A and B are shown apart, each in its own frame.
Chain A
Amino acid sequence: MDTLLDPETRGANRIIPGAVDCDVHPASPAMKELMPYLDDYLSQSVVDRGIEQLTSVHYPPNAPITCREDWRGPGDAASALKRMQTHLLDGMGVGTAILNQMLGIQILFNADMGAAFARGLNDFMAREWLDKDDRLRASMVLPQQSPELCVDEIERLAGDKRFVQVMMLVMGDRPLGHQMYWPIYRAAEKHGLPIAIHAGSMYRHPLTGVGWSSYHSQDYAANAVNFQTTVTSLIAEGVFTKFPNLKVVMSESGWTWLPAYLWRMDKYWHGLRMLTPWVDRLPREIIADNFRFTLQPVDAPPDRAVLEKLMEHVGTEDLLLFSTDYPHWQFDGTECVPDGFSDSQLRKMMIDTPKATYSRL
């Protein structure tokens, strides 16, 4: 028996030693924590113009999903890191955690300012998180307002191999397959960096195709439909014809919608193929080659039989990357993997698929 799968060593949460957790959220820094990392002009502006905390309404700090009750605590980086070590790294036994920093700098309309905040935020992440625990890796935060400035930031940080991917919000100015974003994809492909597309919005448009919601709950639910339209965009625009080696990691996307989505997409492709002839493969083949999905949230009932069926519908064990979405509230206790995954599937999502996806791990 594979020692990694020995029940003695893996504990009740089924986390395999060395498991890579592909979606973990560090606390967002308060403006005063960030100040030392901002350039002179921006730090003067912050004070002189009274620029306040850039917290996205998408993750209200006190909302239930944003942080599980038993994982709350002081927001400074040192305290937050200590909690993450206690709960996730030491506590649950995660071997490597990939940090997605969700401070809402992408929402600013001023692209230069967005880029300056992105530089400060990435440097903050390197010093205050990555330097402090070598089990940590991070996604580069990009100033999604300007693809050119995104490329500059990728080039600036590419030498630091602890940044293992770049991150974009699923709802931007245009659907993410659009040509305006291709410079980002070119630079990411060149440096072997997957694109993490994470839940969240730049708030340029209503969060659904049918208008602005009344409730936070609706907006959070809307992430799943926006991941779906984003898959359509990335495929229809031919991103993977142009950048065949690009990997996209759909993060906090939900994935139980994927089979039904692909049944529809494959069908439409048969009849409309000639309208976008560069899409020269079945969409599900493109998904298999270029897309990965982080595990949490698992939008399925706690029913082993349903999950097993769902995995049959997904049709491959290679699409999922293990994630806890820590400290977002997606599960209780340490039950980060629902019943219904086989041992071989666990090994794939925790070890093999992350290694294959992230060339920098």
Chain B
Amino acid sequence: MAERQKHVVAKVSDFEGTDRKLVEVKGRPIVIFKKGDEWFGMLDRCPHQGGSLCSGSLISWVESSGPGDYRMSRKDEIVRCPWHGWEFDIRTGVACARPTKYRARPVGVSVVKSEETETVGNLELYDVSREGDLVVVEL
């Protein structure tokens, strides 16, 4: 496996007034989301039909204990594809709507195994961090 390298992809100041930026590393389109002091990076393609997640919305995780009940958590940590609206957890890359047998653990703590992508692919995530004034992707 090729050694991972650090790539400077943006300045921190690029994120003034926005929470996202589309960059390219080794030919791959990667969207960077900034949430407070945290950074998230993922391939800018929805595993479903390829929509650009950079144009998607960041929403809360909506759960329910029964009809008519709406519970919100994880503010801005779910990216919703700009096309078909499929939801993914930006911390784990896991698709939110999926067969029960792949959801033994609640969204957010799942460790993704490759066979879990049966019907819904998960996001391909990248390590993103801040180094001084720069934003760095490891790949």
What range describes how many residues of A lie at the interface?
10 to 19
Contact B67 A271 (CB under 8 A): no
| Residue in contact with B97 in the complex, picked from A238, A270, A278, CB distance below 8 Å | A270
Contact A237 B67 (CB under 8 A): yes
Contact A271 B86 (CB under 8 A): yes
Q: Does B48 contact A (CB under 8 A)?
A: yes
- Give 1 or 0 for each of A242-270: 1 = CB within 8 Å of chain B CB: 10000000000000000000000001011
Cα(A285)–Cα(B67), bound, Å? 18
Q: Does B114 contact A (CB under 8 A)?
A: no
| Residue in contact with A241 in the complex, picked from B67, B87, B95, CB distance below 8 Å | B67
Tell me what chain B mostly uses at the interface: helix, strand, loop, or mixed: loop
Q: Does B63 contact A (CB under 8 A)?
A: yes
Instruction: Output the least CB separation between B48 and chain A (Å).
Output: 7
**In the assembled complex, which residues on chain A have CB atoms less than 8 Å from the CB atom of B85?**
270-272
**In the assembled complex, which residues on chain B have CB atoms less than 8 Å from the CB atom of A277?**
62-64, 70-71
From B65, B95, B97, B99, residue with most partner A Cβ within 10 Å: B97
**In the assembled complex, which residues on chain A have CB atoms less than 8 Å from the CB atom of B96?**
273
Contact B87 A273 (CB under 8 A): yes
Contact A285 B100 (CB under 8 A): yes
Q: Does B23 contact A (CB under 8 A)?
A: no
Contact A270 B86 (CB under 8 A): yes
Instruction: Output the least CB separation between A153 and chain B (Å).
Output: 25
Q: Does B75 contact A (CB under 8 A)?
A: no
Cα(A238)–Cα(B66), bound, Å? 7
Q: Does A282 contact B (CB under 8 A)?
A: yes
**In the assembled complex, which residues on chain B have CB atoms less than 8 Å from the CB atom of A309?**
none
- Give 1 or 0 for each of A208-241: 1 = CB within 8 Å of chain B CB: 0000000000000000000000000000011001
- Give 1 or 0 for each of A271-292: 1 = CB within 8 Å of chain B CB: 1111001101110010000000
Q: Does A179 contact B (CB under 8 A)?
A: yes
The residue of chain B having its C-beta at the shortest distance from the C-beta of A272 within the complex is: B85
Given contacts A270-B120, A274-B59, whether A281 and B66 have CB atoms under 8 Å apart is: no
Q: Does B69 contact A (CB under 8 A)?
A: yes
**In the assembled complex, which residues on chain B have CB atoms less than 8 Å from the CB atom of A269?**
97
From A269, A272, A274, residue with most partner B Cβ within 10 Å: A274
**In the assembled complex, which residues on chain B have CB atoms less than 8 Å from the CB atom of A267?**
84
Contact B84 A271 (CB under 8 A): yes
**In the assembled complex, which residues on chain A have CB atoms less than 8 Å from the CB atom of B71?**
277
Instruction: Output the least CB separation between B55 and chain A (Å).
Output: 15
Contact B97 A273 (CB under 8 A): yes
**In the assembled complex, which residues on chain B have CB atoms less than 8 Å from the CB atom of A272?**
85
| Residue in contact with B69 in the complex, picked from A270, A271, A274, A278, CB distance below 8 Å | A278
Cα(A267)–Cα(B49), bound, Å? 12
The residue of chain A having its C-beta at the shortest distance from the C-beta of B48 within the complex is: A270
Instruction: Output the least CB separation between B10 and chain A (Å).
Output: 30
Contact A238 B84 (CB under 8 A): no
- Give 1 or 0 for each of B47-63: 1 = CB within 8 Å of chain A CB: 01000000000010011
Cα(A237)–Cα(B68), bound, Å? 9
The residue of chain B having its C-beta at the shortest distance from the C-beta of A269 within the complex is: B97
Instruction: Output the least CB separation between B127 and chain A (Å).
Output: 28
**In the assembled complex, which residues on chain B have CB atoms less than 8 Å from the CB atom of A273?**
87, 96-97
- Give 1 or 0 for each of B85-105: 1 = CB within 8 Å of chain A CB: 111000000011111100000
**In the assembled complex, which residues on chain A have CB atoms less than 8 Å from the CB atom of B59?**
274
**In the assembled complex, which residues on chain A have CB atoms less than 8 Å from the CB atom of B66?**
238, 241-242, 278
Cα(A243)–Cα(B4), bound, Å? 52
- 10 pairs from A and B in contact (CB 8 Å cutoff): A238-B67, A242-B67, A267-B84, A271-B84, A271-B85, A273-B97, A274-B59, A277-B64, A278-B68, A282-B98
8 closest A-B pairs by CB = A271-B85, A238-B67, A277-B64, A278-B64, A271-B84, A274-B62, A273-B97, A277-B62
Chain A residues with a Cβ under 8 A of chain B: 179, 237-238, 241-242, 267, 269-274, 277-278, 280-282, 285
Chain B residues with a Cβ under 8 A of chain A: 48, 59, 62-71, 80-81, 84-87, 95-100, 120
Query: Apart from A241-B64, A281-B99, A282-B100, what are 17 other A-B pairs with CB-CB below 8 Å?
Result: A179-B67, A241-B66, A269-B97, A270-B86, A270-B95, A271-B84, A274-B62, A274-B87, A277-B64, A277-B70, A278-B67, A278-B68, A280-B64, A282-B97, A282-B98, A285-B99, A285-B100
